[in-house]
Structure 1
C-alpha cells in the first residue's frame, strides 16, 4: 500500500480508503472486513453521522477501537435526523455542529476525529460561522483537520479558499470526470481530493457486463464501447479504474466500499494490478471530459 499526504496537513493516508457506509450493520461482520483492510495497509476509514442514523458510526467505532492510534478516522456532519420523521434536514449552525461532533465521538468511541467533513453545503449556509466552528473544534482538540464532501463548485471552491480545510470528497471516475476541472484550484487552496464513486457502482469492475447500464452522460451502448476499449487496453477494468483516479496529483485517496471480505479482496487485487499500469493517460483520448453544468 502506498500513502499520500492529505492536503497541507501532516496526515498521511492510504491510496485506497474504506468507505464504511457499505459495511454490514452487525459489528462482528463489519470487524472482519475492517481487520482485512488494516492487514492490507488501509489506514483511512470514512463514515458519517447520516449513515443508518448513526448506527454505522457505532459499528465502525467498535471495530476500530483497538487500532485507533494507527488509523485515520473521518466522519461527516450537516445532515440532521429528527425524531418522528423519515427523512433528514440540513443544519450547519454552530450549536448543532458542536453537539453533533460530541455525539459522533461517543458513537465512534474516540476522543478525537482526524478529519471532520461538512456533508454537503448550499449557498445559503453561513460559511463564516461554519469555518469558525470547525476552527474552534480544532482548538479544543476534538478534531485534527476538517474538510467538505461536495460536488458543487460554487460551494466547495470558496469554502476551500477561505478556510484551512484539507480535503474535498467528491465523485470522480472514468465515466464522470467533471471534478477534474477543479483539481488544480483545490490543490492551490491547500486541500486534496478524496474520490468517491470510484468504480461507478460496480460498472468499472470486471463484472461490468452483468452490471451494464447507462451512467452519467454515457448511454448503455456508449458505456459498453468504452468498457470494451478499457478491457482491451489494460486487461482489467477494475485496476484501470483505480489507476485512472490515482494518476492525479490532487487525489490523495480513492474510496472503495465493501460489504464483505470478498469484495474488499477484489478491490485490493485490482489496486495491486493498478501499480503496473503506466499508460493510463491514454484513456483521455477515449473518455469524455464532461464538466459541471449546475452549481457553478
Structure 2
C-alpha cells in the first residue's frame, strides 16, 4: 500500500481507503471486511452519520474498540436527522454541526475524529458560521482536521482559504469535471482531494456491458461510455479494468486517496489491487483521456 500526505498536515493516509456506507450490519461480516482492509495496509476509513441513520457509526465503534490507533477515521455531518425518523433536512448551522460531530463521536465510541467533513453545502449556506463550527471543534480537540464533501466549484472555493485539509468529490474517467475546475486549484493550495466514484458505478469495470444504462451517463451516450470502458479494459486487461479506472484518478497529484466501498472481503482485495498495479504511464493516461470528451460544470461556478 502506498501512503500520501493529507493536505499540509503530518497525517499519512492510504491511497486506497474504505468507504463504509455499504458495510453489512452483521458485525462478524463487517469486521471481516475491515480486517481485510487493515491487512492490506488501508488506514483511511470514511463514514458519515447518515449512513443507515447512525447504525454504521455504531457498528464501527465495536470494530475499532481497542485498536483506535490503527485507523485514520473520517466522518461527515450536516444532514439534520433524528434516529427513528426517515426525514432529514440540510442544516449547516454552527449549533447543529457541533451537535452532529459530538453525536458521531458518541456513536463511534471515540474521543476525536481524524477528519470531519461537511456533507454537502451550497453557496447560500451561512458559510462563515459553518466555518466557525469546524474551527471550534478543532480548537476543542474533537477533530484533528476538517474538510468538505462537495462537487460545487463555488462552494469549494469559498472554503478553500478557511483551513480545510481535504475535499471529497466524485471523479472518474466518465466524470472529468474536477479536471476542468478544481484539481489544479486545490493542489496549488496543498488541499487534498479524496475521490469517490472512480469506477462510475461499475461502468468502468469488467462488467461495463451490464452496468452502463441505455440512456448513458451524465452528458455521454451509452455508445460513448462503452468506448471509454473498452479503452479502460484494453489498457491493463479486462479483469484489471476497475483497478485501471482507480489508477486513472490517482494519476493527478491533487488526489490523496480513493475511497471505495465494499460489502465483502473479496471486494476489498479487488479495490486494493489498484494500489498494487503499476501507475499509469503518461501515454496510457493520455489515451484514456482521449477516449471520451470531458464534461464541464454548467452550474455552481460563481
Which secondary structure does the structure 1 equivalent of 2:201 belong to?
helix
Which secondary structure does the structure 2 equivalent of 1:22 belong to?
coil
Question: Deviation at 1:280?
Answer: 3.2
Partner of 1:230: 232
Which secondary structure does the structure 1 equivalent of 2:198 belong to?
coil
Unaligned runs of 5+ in 2: none
Q: Which residue among 281, 285, 295 is the counterpart of 1:290?
A: 295
Flag as ranges the 4+ runs of structure 1 deviating above 6 A. Answer: none
* Aligned: 1:277 with 2:248: no
Partner of 1:3: 3
Partner of 1:138: 138
Contact residue 199 and residue 242 of structure 2 kept, 8 A: yes
CA distance, structure 1, for counterparts of residue 90 and residue 118 of structure 2: 11
Instruction: Tell me which moved more, 222-231 or 36-45.
Output: 222-231
CA distance, structure 2, for counterparts of residue 153 and residue 113 of structure 1: 26
Size of the aligned set, in residue pairs, is 294
Question: Deviation at 1:276?
Answer: 5.2
Question: Deviation at 1:268?
Answer: 2.0
Question: Deviation at 1:277?
Answer: 3.5
Contact residue 111 and residue 142 of structure 1 kept, 8 A: yes
Q: Which residue among 214, 217, 223 is the counterpart of 1:215?
A: 217
Contact residue 247 and residue 280 of structure 1 kept, 8 A: no
Partner of 1:53: 53
Instruction: Tell me which moved more, 231-240 or 125-134.
Output: 231-240
CA distance, structure 2, for counterparts of residue 82 and residue 232 of structure 1: 48
Instruction: Tell me which moved more, 59-68 or 239-248.
Output: 59-68
CA distance, structure 2, for counterparts of residue 120 and residue 200 of structure 1: 19
Which secondary structure does the structure 2 equivalent of 1:97 belong to?
helix
* Aligned: 1:73 with 2:76: no
Which secondary structure does the structure 2 equivalent of 1:8 belong to?
coil
Unaligned runs of 5+ in 1: none
Aligned-residue CA RMSD (Å): 1.5
Query: For residues 83 and 227 of structure 1, do their structure 2 counterparts lie closer, same or farther at Cα, with a shift above 3 Å needed?
Result: closer
CA distance, structure 1, for counterparts of residue 211 and residue 119 of structure 2: 28
Q: 1:175-214, aligned counterparts within 5 Å?
A: 175-181=174-180, 182-213=182-213, 214=216
1:140-180 per-residue CA deviation (whole Å, 9 max, x = no partner) reads 1100000000011111111112x110000000001100011
Contact residue 227 and residue 291 of structure 2 kept, 8 A: no
Instruction: Tell me which moved more, 230-239 or 101-110.
Output: 230-239
CA distance, structure 2, for counterparts of residue 200 and residue 238 of structure 1: 9
TM-score, scaled to structure 2: 0.93
Which secondary structure does the structure 1 equivalent of 2:105 belong to?
helix
Question: Deviation at 1:84?
Answer: 6.9
Contact residue 34 and residue 64 of structure 1 kept, 8 A: no
CA distance, structure 1, for counterparts of residue 254 and residue 266 of structure 2: 30
